[in-house]
Amino acid sequence: MPFDDRLIHIDKLDFSYDDRVILRDVSMEIPRGKLVAIMGNSGCGKTTLLRLIGGQLKPTGGFLSVDGQSVPDMPLSNLYALRRRIGMLFQFGALFTDISVFDNVAYPIREHTRLPEEIIYDLVLMKLNAVGLRGAQGLMPSELSGGMARRVALARAVALDPSLIMYDEPFTGLDPISMGVIGQLIRKLNDALGATTLLVTHDVQEALDLVDYVYFMSGGEVVAHGTPDEIRKASDPVVHQFVHGEADGPLRFHFPAPPFGAELMRERANA
């Protein structure tokens, strides 16, 4: 892929908390203007990868660049400038609970620009209208349903027309209608803004219907990548089990532990 066509370049990236390995030898290329999903089971390192891209964490090895700049090597001023070009939708919305819907969306505009209030007013209404909530501008977060709160958070994430939008599990806890609405908004906003979108999720079918490309992670590694159709047909046992929701396979439900019977007998012997 030509360098100018990729916004994010990750090469053999490693990350650990002390002796606990979270990411191992991860390589990805995220093209400009595309909607790319990072999928995998809980605990495989997806959210950690977003934090590395945003500069909240530093890798223990490998290379990570955004728009041609090495994120771990950026001075703070450059890192803050990069973050102003990134929109982030947190897993549970993370709205400010003590200010209105309008002020939640206006917050990043007021924080990072010197625009007059009349222009901020117009911009906020445009963002809220895009997510269907212009009429809810005066409500408080406690008055919103889960799906409405997620849409407000989405409006806030795109308030500054970012070149990169990152979503951390945007479908968690949503009913099927809200999930469909949020999914279509993610796709429409990506295309309308000409942005690059990273969608971290374990909601298989919703994501595969939306995205252009998929990286599939397991155990802190990329085990497969390709178009949605290629992922659906993947022969890798981990990917196949996850995509088809099968109970039996290499992904285990139980955390590693001694045999249950032996552990019960040991506790009785020690009683």
pLDDT per residue as tens digits for the range 73-88: 889 988 888 888 888 8
- What is the structure's pLDDT at 42? 73
User: What angle (nearest 5°) sits at the alpha carbon of residue 208, between those of residues 218 and 62?
Assistant: 40
- The residue ranking higher by pLDDT, 172 or 167, is 167
Q: Report how far residue 148's alpha carbon sits from residue 180's, in angstroms, rounded to the nearest whole number.
A: 13
CATH superfamily assigned to domain 3-85+162-270: P-loop containing nucleotide triphosphate hydrolases (3.40.50.300)
Listed by start position, the domains of the chain span 3-85+162-270
- Overall pTM > 0.85: no
- What is the structure's pLDDT at 111? 87
- What is the structure's pLDDT at 235? 75
Q: Report how far residue 107's alpha carbon sits from residue 182's, in angstroms, rounded to the nearest whole number.
A: 22
240 close to 246: Cβ distance less than 8 angstroms: yes
Q: Tell me: pLDDT of 36 over 90.
A: yes
CA distances from 18 to 15, 48, 60 (A): 9, 15, 10
26 close to 216: Cβ distance less than 8 angstroms: no
Q: Report how far residue 253's alpha carbon sits from residue 132's, in angstroms, rounded to the nearest whole number.
A: 39
Q: Helix, strand or coil for residue 266?
A: helix
- What is the structure's pLDDT at 254? 57
Q: Tell me: pLDDT of 41 over 80.
A: no
Q: Tell me: pLDDT of 140 over 90.
A: yes
Summarised one tens digit per residue, pLDDT across range 223-241 is 888 888 888 877 777 776 7
Q: What is the mean pLDDT of residues 35-53?
A: 85
- What is the structure's pLDDT at 1? 42
Of 228, 230, 182, 236, nearest to 205 by C-alpha is 228
- The residue ranking higher by pLDDT, 122 or 2, is 122
- What is the structure's pLDDT at 255? 61
The dihedral region occupied by 32, where left means phi > 0, alpha psi between -120 and 50, and beta the remainder, is: beta
**For residue 38, what are the β-bridge partners?**
200, 215
Q: What is the mean pLDDT of residues 247-251?
A: 57
Summarised one tens digit per residue, pLDDT across range 168-218 is 888 877 778 878 888 888 888 888 888 899 998 877 777 888 899 999 888
- The residue ranking higher by pLDDT, 19 or 108, is 108
Which range has the worst mean pLDDT, 46-60, 165-179, 182-196, 241-255? 241-255
